[in-house]
Chains A and B, each alone.
Chain A
Amino acid sequence: MFVYTNEAHPGEHVPHHDTWERKLANARLLRDEIGIRRPILVDDLTGTVHRAFGGMPNMTWVFDRGGLVIYKANWTSAANVEGFLERYRAGRESGSQRVAMSRYETEQIEFRRADPARFQRALERNGPRAVTEFDNARAIWERRGQ
């Protein structure tokens, strides 16, 4: 499922959320424009749920039954999530097989394929201010050496 958050790059066409009604309206706009078919959930105006899980703009979490955290990524890679789910299911269901499996935990750095052209189109969709402010942010990152 998909949790709609604050607008990461607000602009003239898709403004920041100043009211609950605005947040819901932007969530519906996103659902209808992008064609999201998964259930969309929305938390409160101050992002209580989003912030509790870290507040990153496009993160993915996976929970096993009972809310056991089995995967957390500060950015979403569908391929990485799918690969993880395959491995996790195979490991968990291996009890009846001859090969013994032991559970372990890992943290690692991954790489994902970026799509700058698509991101630029999304900024432009939000409005000229979103484009300008991202350029300004890029200058800040360059000054910081990021």
Chain B
Amino acid sequence: MDADDALTSERYNYPHFDDYIAAGGELADEARFRESFRIGTHATTFPLHRLNDGERIDLAALWTSKPLVMEFGSFT
């Protein structure tokens, strides 16, 4: 198990943004982004929950027949 596998909900859902920055959290995220699925390769499918009805959706079901645009975000 690498350090990322051991990421807890407390670390991922940090309560204080300045502590996250002081610990270099955003630099680690940028590095993880670069190393994650490369252009021209196939991404792994993952299960997600649809907010409106709670149904479990697999990413693979969304990119079966047409391109999929996936934006990530929160309030800010």
Contact = CB atoms under 8 A, between A and B. Distances in A.
Most buried by B among A23, A50, A68, A70: A68
A69 B42 contact: yes
Contacts of B28: 55
Interface residues of B, number: 53
Nearest to B31: A54
A53 B51 contact: no
A137 B76 contact: no
Given A1-B62, A51-B4, A51-B32, A130 B51 contact: no
A85 B67 contact: yes
Interface in A103-146: 105, 107, 119, 122-123, 125-126, 129-130, 133-134, 136-137, 140-141
B66 A53 contact: no
Interface of B: 4, 7-9, 12-18, 21-22, 28-30, 32-34, 36-46, 48-52, 57, 59-60, 62-76
Interface of A: 1-10, 14-18, 23-24, 26-28, 30-31, 39-43, 45-72, 74, 76, 81, 85, 88, 105, 107, 119, 122-123, 125-126, 129-130, 133-134, 136-137, 140-141
9 contacts: A1-B68, A5-B72, A18-B9, A41-B49, A41-B50, A51-B32, A55-B32, A63-B59, A122-B76
